[in-house]
Every structure is written in structure tokens, then in C-alpha cells.
Amino acid sequence: MNKLLRILTSVALGSAAIFLSSCGNMSSGSGTAFSFDPPAKKPSNPSAVKIHISTGAGKLYVTEGNEVLLATPIGVGTSATPTPKGNFKINSKTRHRRRQGNPGRGYPMTYWMSFYSPAYGMHWGFVKPYPSTHGCVRMPLNSARKVFDMTRVGTPVNVSTSQPWDSTTGAKLPRLDDGPLPNPPNSYMQSSKVFADQEKGKMWNFN
């Protein structure tokens, strides 16, 4: 009888472990940024909206008061070219922007929101699960469009190593990695079609 009880207890514990493991995998799955479309709540007071960027967790949160309106994985700067930390404000917004300098002149940087001098901003870009930018904050396409529409010039931006939501809301976000994706043809990236597609939440053949 005791042996049977031990067997049943072992099976039950094993099943619980599998269940908990499955739940963890469900909440922290992986994929490319083009398959990610975060839920977003419309702010009731646009002037109260703030952006919080966690460079350590690679997450961005749009908040109004204590409520998170949108949360998304992001790409941030490397240790050699870090994303500036501190308190800033969005100082310019350009919906359809292209890179001005070389290399990569003309490359789309859609939904551009500058927050630190003209050179640093948030925008659409290929997202990787590790620091990989020259200091800008790259967002998935649908995230970038929604954040752009939820903010305005003057919206506060806090960039820190961590944010209060990293262990809660942020921990539930998927791991995104656009690294394995092929580079779209330059003829497409330099065309006006790229902006028309991005407004639909699509791009090339990634969707």
C-alpha cells in the first residue's frame, strides 16, 4: 500500500512539473518580430502617457499612471554603442523616415521617435534577443506603429537598466529573434512600397 502511494505521488508531482513547464513555455515562447502584435489600450489622457525602456531586459512599456497600456520586446544598443540612459522626451516624430547617413543611406526607419539629440530614437527595425543596435531602440513593426500612434512630441521617456514591470508584464513577453531572417532586396527597401506595406502591418514575405 505504501509503495502504491509513493508511485501515485511521484506521478502526480511529475504531472505538475510538466504542467508548470508547459505554462512557462506558453508565456515565453519565441518567434520573429513580424509575428508579434501586442495588445494596446487607448490612453484616456494622452498627456499622461510615458515610455519606460529597460535595456537590461530588452523591453519597452507604455504607461498611463500605474497601468501598462502596451508592452513589447525591443532591441537596444551594444556595450560599445549603448542606448543613452536617463530621462528624456520625444523631441520629433517622423512616420516614414529613412536613414540619412552611410552606411545604409535610405534604409527605412519607420515610425521614428527621436528622444536624445537627432541621432537616437525609437523606430521599426529587426529585433534580436540581445543588444545589437548602435544606440537606437528597435521595435517590432506592429509595436512601433502602435507606440507611434499612442505618443506625441513631449511624451516622457525613461531609459534605465531595469523597469518595475520586468518581472511581471515583461516576463510574459515572447522571445523575438529576427536574426535568421534573410535581408529583403534593397530595391524593395528603397521603394515607397515598403511604407505602404508597413502601414498594413506587413513587410516583404515575412508575414
> Strand locations in 55-142, DSSP E?
59-64, 67-73, 86-89, 92-94, 112-116, 120-124, 137-139
Does 70 reside within a domain? Answer: yes
In whole angstroms, what is the distance from residue 140 CA to residue 126 CA?
A: 7
Does 30 reside within a domain? Answer: no
Does 24 reside within a domain? Answer: no
How many distinct structural domains can be found in the chain? 1
CATH number of the domain where residue 113 is located: 2.40.440.10
pLDDT of the chain, 207 residues: tens digit per residue: 444 334 333 433 333 333 222 222 223 567 999 999 999 999 999 999 999 999 999 999 999 999 999 999 999 999 999 999 999 999 999 999 999 888 889 999 999 999 998 889 999 999 999 999 999 999 999 999 999 999 999 999 999 999 999 999 999 999 999 999 999 999 999 999 999 999 999 999 887
In whole angstroms, what is the distance from residue 201 CA to residue 192 CA?
A: 15
Given a contact cutoff of 8 angstroms between Cβ atoms, the answer to whether 123 and 134 are in contact is no
Range of the domain at 82: 48-199
- What per-residue confidence (pLDDT) applies to 71? 98
Q: Which residues pair with 113 in a beta bridge?
A: 93, 122
**Torsion of Cα atoms, 9 then 12 then 18 then 24, to 10°:** -100
- What per-residue confidence (pLDDT) applies to 30? 77
- What per-residue confidence (pLDDT) applies to 29? 61
Alpha-carbon distances, residue 66 vs 25, 58, 92, 168 (angstroms): 27, 20, 25, 13
Rg for the chain, CA atoms, rounded = 20
Does 6 reside within a domain? Answer: no
Does 167 reside within a domain? Answer: yes
- What per-residue confidence (pLDDT) applies to 102? 83
In 10 A of CB 206, how many CB atoms? 16
Given a contact cutoff of 8 angstroms between Cβ atoms, the answer to whether 64 and 48 are in contact is yes
Does 122 reside within a domain? Answer: yes
Does 39 reside within a domain? Answer: no
Is the previous residue joined to 103 through a cis bond, with omega within 30 degrees of 0?
yes
Given a contact cutoff of 8 angstroms between Cβ atoms, the answer to whether 115 and 121 are in contact is yes
Does 101 reside within a domain? Answer: yes
